[in-house]
Amino acid sequence: MSDLSQNSFYWIVRSKTDSHAIEAVFRKELQAVDRDAATSNVRSLGEYLSDSVAPRKFNLRVLTLFSLAALLLSATGIYGVVSYTVTQRTSEIGIRLALGAGQANIFRLILGQIVEVVIVGVMLGTLGAVAITRVISSLLYGVTPTDPLTFGLVSFVMIVVALLACSIPARRATRVDPLVALRYE
């Protein structure tokens, strides 16, 4: 897309037909009025608008891709840490099960401890995001830098992803056989 100079003119034609269908008629009529008029770049308003926002759309797609990659990496990290923690606590879980704790109690125990950490992490992340919005406020369009809906939605998504990542190791902890767990001690 070329830079617009101050000597540029734009012709705007309203038509109910496709812009490509009337291009020849438009060129002919314009040449009849002014032989020196340039008609080299005829396109619809939709095409012009689409071309003008194309760099922002590309940046948005790249940002979305990196955001999804970060979300996947965080879920994988949370899963790994919780899985390792559950593995380290296998004997404790076995003792709890041997003493009569039910599978639901073990699931709530594991998930409850992780939820506390996740909530603190989301709160600290939100505070950090609010602090950094001053830097990125020029990149935002259609939302305020401290849009409560955006912060709420992102916090909700992070909590859901963390809970899903934690639920697999927590469910695995409920299936620990107390005899096997105590035998390794």
Query: Domain spans of the chain?
Result: 1-42, 56-183
Q: Is the pLDDT of residue 155 over 80?
A: yes
pTM of the model: 0.68
Local confidence band at 6 (pLDDT 50, 70, 90 cut-offs): low
CA distance to 11, 60, 63, 76, 119, per residue, from 67 (Å):
41, 10, 6, 14, 20
Local confidence band at 65 (pLDDT 50, 70, 90 cut-offs): very high
| Mean pLDDT value of segment 103-107 | 89
Closest of 13, 15, 14, 8 to residue 37, by C-alpha: 8
pLDDT tens digit string along 157-168? 999 999 999 888
**How much is the pLDDT for 68?**
94
**How much is the pLDDT for 13?**
72
Angle at 81 between CA 75 and CA 83, to 5 degrees: 95
**How much is the pLDDT for 2?**
46
